[in-house]
Amino acid sequence: MADDMKEVTKRFTLPSKKKLRNLVQYRDMNDDEFDEVWEKRMKEDVDSSEEFEIRIKEKLEEFEGDYDLSDMKVNDIANLRSLIQLTITLEDYEQKLFATRTEDSGASNIQFVEKLTKIMSDLRGDISKIQNDLKITRKVRTSDRDVSVIAFIDGLKQKARQHYEARMNYVYCPECNMLLGTVWSLYPTKSKYSYICQRTLANGDLCNNNFTVTMEELLKNKGTNSQEITPEAML
Residue 218 placed within a domain: yes
Q: Are residues 172 and 127 in the same domain?
A: no
Contact present, 67 and 136 (Cβ < 8 Å): yes
Q: What is the pLDDT of residue 110?
A: 74
Residue 157 placed within a domain: no
Q: What is the pLDDT of residue 195?
A: 95
Q: How confident is the model at residue 213 (pLDDT cuts 50, 70, 90)?
A: very high
Between CA 23 and CA 179 the distance in angstroms is: 98
Q: How far is CA 189 from CA 175, 216, 219, in A?
A: 25, 5, 10
Tell me the pLDDT tens digit for each residue of 29-51.
787 776 777 666 655 554 567 77
pTM exceeds 0.85, yes or no? no
Q: Are residues 17 and 118 in the same domain?
A: yes
Q: Are residues 114 and 173 in the same domain?
A: no
Q: Are residues 64 and 105 in the same domain?
A: yes
Q: What is the pLDDT of residue 107?
A: 58
Tell me the pLDDT tens digit for each residue of 48-95.
677 778 888 888 888 777 777 777 788 888 888 888 888 888 888 888
Q: Are residues 57 and 130 in the same domain?
A: yes
Domain range for residue 179? 168-234
